[in-house]
Each structure stands twice: as C-alpha cells, then as structure tokens.
C-alpha cells in the first residue's frame, strides 16, 4: 500500500529527497512514510484493520485490538480475521473478495444481540501494485475519553459534569447515571443543564451531535495491549 504525506518545509528527513535520488534514499523515504502511517492508525479511536482478500491481517491498530474482545462478532485467530458465528462467515469472505478484486465497498451487519456490530469494508486497490482491504469497526460510544476530556476542558466542566458527559456519550441514560453516582435524578438533570449551558447546546440531541463530531483520537496515556 502506498501513502502520500505532505512533508513540512525544512523537514530534515525528506528535505533533500528528490525524484532523481538514489534507490536507498527512496527506500528510506518509503519506510518513513510507512512508519508515519502506522503511527497515524494507532492514534485513531476507530478500530482499523488492513487485510488481504483471504482475511490475513496485515495491520491491526490499538483501537481494533481493544474492540475485538469476546463481545465482538469478529476475532483474530492465527493472524486471520474470522467471524465468531457461522452465518457471518460467507458474507464476510464475499465482501473481502469483492473489495479486493472488484473494488466494491459495503457495510456489513454482523452478529446478533450483544455481539451485533457494523463493519465497513473499503477496497484499497487504486494505483497500487497489490490490492488490500480496509475494515473499519464501529465505536462503542460517541467519542473517546480523551475527546470528552478535551470537550470538558474547553467548556470548563466540573469533574462531576465530565463524568456525566462521558456516561451520556457511552449511551447511559440519565436515570442510570444517577444510580451509578448514587444521587437523585434531579441532580443529574441539573448537571446536564449546566453542561448544555456551558457548551451552548440547546438540547441533549445537540450536545450529542457536538460529541459525535469530535476528533477520534486515542489518549497518550493509554495502556498498550498485545
């Protein structure tokens, strides 16, 4: 897979690179671009996997490794992406094959009940010598903890309001938030009103929209997983 990056002016790594450079210099530049791409994928708060049509995993970022737990309809076994339920095996294999060979993209709905999840299949077959397939996993909440923390700092939310905000972004209803915090529902409603007033949101729906469009970045304080 080839990648193109806009190089900062004066960058010591690539400032001397030109089309007539020697092959070692070109290989060094390509290696640096690949390394940058890997770092970018690790910072995204969306699970992303790079595969071939046979389902072999070429790259799996941190968010994907966290998402593919026992509750997800997909798993990685022997460096292969597999469906946990037999009924999903054929649709998954067909989507990967058509993405690589025909350039088709699609939205797969996999699993049932608590294991149900959406997966986007994206072909990466344009201007490359070897085609690949990108799987993008859905997030379990509107925004990650880091994005919610940024939002809270931006609008001066209190620590308690921040926790309420994170709970709402994870789909927890106000009455359950009250139970979790051991307070009356009226207290949580007052906190939500305060969050809305500080952020300028005229409704909970507008507040959720603001959270949904926050950049999906991972925390630098994250714990690495194998």
Per-residue model confidence as pLDDT tens digits over 11-41: 344 344 455 555 777 666 666 677 787 787 8
Match 């968010």 to its residue by tokens. Answer: 63
Cβ 69 vs Cβ 115: under 8 Å: no
pLDDT tier, 218 (very low <50, low <70, confident <90, very high otherwise): low
pLDDT of residue 21: 52
Using the predicted structure, report yes or no on whether residue 210 has a pLDDT greater than 50: yes
Q: Which residue has the tokens 């969306």?
A: 46
Contact assessment for residue 133 and residue 93, using Cβ atoms and an 8 Å cutoff: no
Q: What is the mean pLDDT of residues 186-192?
A: 96
The neighbour count for residue 166, using CB atoms within 10 Å, is 22
158 pLDDT above the threshold of 90: yes
* pLDDT given at position 13: 42
Cα gap 137→122, rounded to integer Å: 11
Residue 149's pLDDT is 86
* 5 has a pLDDT exceeding 90: no
Backbone angles phi, psi at 44, to 5 degrees: -80, 140
What band does 9 get if pLDDT is binned at 50, 70 and 90? very low
pLDDT (average), residues 76-82: 95
| H-type alpha helices, the chain | 23-43, 62-67, 86-102, 145-155, 159-169, 174-181, 185-199, 204-212
Backbone phi and psi for residue 126, each to the nearest 5 degrees, phi listed first: -100, 125
List the one residue out of 108, 106, 59, 95 whose CA is nearest residue 79.
59
Assigned token pair, 58: 């070429």
Residue 220 or residue 165, greater confidence: 165
For residue 134, what are the β-bridge partners? 50, 122
So what's the pLDDT on residue 221? 42
- Model pLDDT, residue 2: 39
Q: What are phi and psi of 186, to 5 degrees?
A: -65, -35
Q: Which helix (H) or strand (E) holds 110?
A: strand 106-110
Tell which phi-psi region holds residue 202, choosing left (phi > 0), alpha (psi between -120 and 50) or beta: alpha
Residue 4 pLDDT level (bands cut at 50, 70, 90): very low
Check residue 11 and give its pLDDT: 38
Predicted TM-score (pTM) of this structure: 0.65
pLDDT for 117 beyond 60: yes
What is the rounded average pLDDT for all residues in the chain? 82
Burial 117-133 (b: 16+ CB within 10 A, else e): bebbbbbbbeeeeebbb
Higher pLDDT, 41 or 156: 156
Report, as an integer, the average pLDDT of 55-84. 92
Paired strand residues for 167: none
Identify the weakest region by mean pLDDT among 159-168, 193-202, 216-225.
216-225
């Amino acid at each position: 897979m080839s990648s193109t990056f806009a190089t900062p002016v004066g960058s010591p790594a690539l400032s001397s690179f030109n089309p007539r450079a020697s092959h070692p210099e070109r290989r060094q530049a390509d290696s640096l671009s690949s390394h940058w791409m890997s770092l970018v994928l690790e910072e995204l708060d969306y699970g992303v996997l790079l595969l071939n049509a046979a389902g072999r995993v070429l790259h799996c970022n941190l968010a994907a490794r966290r998402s593919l737990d026992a509750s997800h309809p997909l798993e990685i076994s022997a460096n292969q992406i597999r469906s946990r339920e037999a009924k999903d095996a054929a649709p998954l294999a067909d989507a990967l094959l058509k993405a690589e060979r025909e350039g088709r993209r699609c939205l797969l709905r996999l699993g049932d009940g608590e294991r149900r999840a959406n997966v986007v299949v994206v072909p990466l077959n344009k201007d490359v010598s070897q085609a690949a397939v990108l799987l993008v996993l859905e997030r379990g909440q509107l925004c990650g903890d880091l994005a919610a923390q940024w939002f809270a700092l931006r609008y001066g939310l209190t620590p308690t309001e921040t926790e309420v905000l994170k709970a709402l972004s994870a789909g927890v209803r106000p009455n359950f938030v009250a139970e979790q915090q051991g307070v009356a529902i009226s207290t949580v409603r007052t906190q939500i009103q305060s969050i809305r007033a500080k952020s300028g949101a005229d409704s909970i729906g507008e507040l959720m929209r603001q959270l949904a469009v926050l950049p999906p970045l991972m925390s630098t304080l994250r714990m690495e997983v194998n």
